[in-house]
Amino acid sequence: MISLDDLVSAQDRLIACPQCDALHLVEDLTETESASCARCGTLLIAPRARSFLHVVALSFTAMILMVGAVFFPFLKISTKGLSHDSSVFGAAMTFSDGLLAPLSLAVLLMIVALPVLRFTALIYTLWPLANGRAPWPQAARAFRLAEATLPWSMAEIFVIGTAVALVKVAGLATVSLGPAFWAFCALIIVVALKNSFMSKWTIWNAISQPR
Ligand SMILES: [Zn+2]
């Protein structure tokens, strides 16, 4: 008969794939080995220090790209000899008074503030771990915050939305894309790369049992 203690210890050794929910039994891996889901190939366990360093480096890259994406000109619209260009920050500020103020606040929050908060929380959590030191105080809370803000970070959705709107506007005026648009595109790639290096299981494990 299986005792409750056996069940609890077995539960500690189970890992569910974040993509397809397949359950796997955790094996002891060396510092350089990684584990992927047997069914869909999603990364389950990443080699500790190296993957943490990748995530920290890519989070820094994302923060720098974010500055360009927000403050550089995003779009230039010209028609009949008149032209106007605007950055994301400028566009949000245009609506900052009056009825549309909550909208501009929501835009700045979801496109800028939440992703920056997420990158900062990830760097805070992983910087000491990547350097082989014990996690900083409140690391668990910082990582939980980074996970909680994930569904609300909408930089990628913003770029797709803009691309759709551009197709509509292109018939009425000449539209050219500024450097900020390309910074957003690079940001999407950097964030996708960062996610491919990140294993939540490895990070939680490192926070709870620092070596
Ligand atoms: Zn899977």
Kindly give the distance from the C-alpha atom of residue 148 to the centroid of ligand 1, in angstroms, as a whole number.
22
| Domain residue extents for the chain | 38-208
**What is the sign of the dihedral through the CA atoms of 199, 201, 207 and 211?**
negative
Helix (H) / strand (E) containing 176: strand 174-177
Divide the 211 residues of the chain into consecutive groups of 10 and give the mean pLDDT of each group. Answer: 67 84 86 88 84 93 92 88 87 83 86 91 93 89 92 79 82 87 91 88 83 55
Kindly give the distance from the C-alpha atom of residue 154 to the centroid of ligand 1, in angstroms, as a whole number.
25
Kindly give the distance from the C-alpha atom of residue 150 to the centroid of ligand 1, in angstroms, as a whole number.
20
Q: Report the pLDDT value the prediction gives residue 205, as an integer from 0 to 100.
A: 85
Output the six-digit token pair for 132. Answer: 């082989």
Non-local CB neighbours of 124 within 8 Å, separated by 6+ positions: 136, 139, 142
38-208: what CATH class?
Answer: mainly alpha
Kindly give the distance from the C-alpha atom of residue 185 to the centroid of ligand 1, in angstroms, as a whole number.
27
pTM of the complete model:
0.81
**Which ranges constitute the DSSP H helices of 4-113?**
4-12, 48-71, 88-94, 101-108
Output the six-digit token pair for 38. Answer: 């047997």
Q: Report the pLDDT value the prediction gives residue 55, as an integer from 0 to 100.
A: 93
> Do residues 158 and 184 touch, judged by C-beta distance below 8 A?
yes
The residue among 201, 208, 192, 205 whose CA lies nearest residue 55 is 192
User: Residue 142: what are its φ and ψ, rounded to 5°?
Assistant: -65, -40
Kindly give the distance from the C-alpha atom of residue 55 to the centroid of ligand 1, in angstroms, as a whole number.
21
Between CA 200 and CA 33 the distance in angstroms is 16
